[in-house]
Amino acid sequence: MATALTPQSAERYAPRVAATPVLTIAAHGVTDVGQRRDHNEDAFLVDPALGLYVVADGMGGHAGGGTASRLAVETIQESIRAARDGAPEVFEGANGVEDSRLPDLLRDAVEAACARIFQTAQDAPELAGMGTTVTAALIDGRVAFVAHVGDSRCYLLREGRIYQVSEDHSLVNEQLKAGTISADEAKHSRFKNIITRSVGFEAQVQVDLMGLELEDGDGLVICCDGLSNLVDDDEILQIVDECPIDASPARLVELANDRGGDDNITVIVIRAGREPILAG
Asked if residue 228 lies in contact with residue 153, where contact means CB atoms within 8 angstroms, the answer is yes
**Rounded Cα gap, residues 57 and 216, in angstroms:** 30
Angle formed at CA 198 by CA 197 and CA 202, multiple of 5 degrees: 100
pLDDT attached to residue 12 = 37
How far, in Å, are 211, 233, 269 from residue 163 at the CA level? 14, 9, 14
pLDDT for residue 7 = 40
| pLDDT tens-place values along the chain, 280 residues long | 444 444 444 443 333 333 456 789 999 999 999 999 999 999 999 999 999 999 999 998 667 999 999 999 999 999 999 999 999 888 876 556 777 899 999 999 999 999 999 999 999 999 999 999 999 999 998 999 999 999 999 999 999 999 999 999 989 888 888 889 888 888 878 887 899 999 999 999 999 999 999 999 999 999 999 999 999 999 999 999 999 999 999 999 999 999 999 999 999 999 999 875 655 5
**How much of the chain is in helix, strand and coil states, percent to nearest 5?**
35, 25, 40
Asked if 45 and 267 count as a contact pair (C-beta separation under 8 A), the reply is no
pTM: 0.90
Kindly report the number of other CB atoms within 10 A of residue 199's CB atom.
Answer: 31
Pairing status of strand 143-149 against strand 153-158: unpaired
Q: What is the pLDDT of residue 213?
A: 93
Q: Which architecture characterizes domain 3-273 according to CATH? A: 4-Layer Sandwich (3.60)
What pLDDT does 9 receive?
40
Burial letters for 16-37: b for 16+ Cβ neighbours within 10 Å, e otherwise? eeeeeeebebbbbbbbbbbeeb
Angle, alpha carbons 251-252-258 (nearest 5°): 90
What pLDDT sits at residue 221? 99
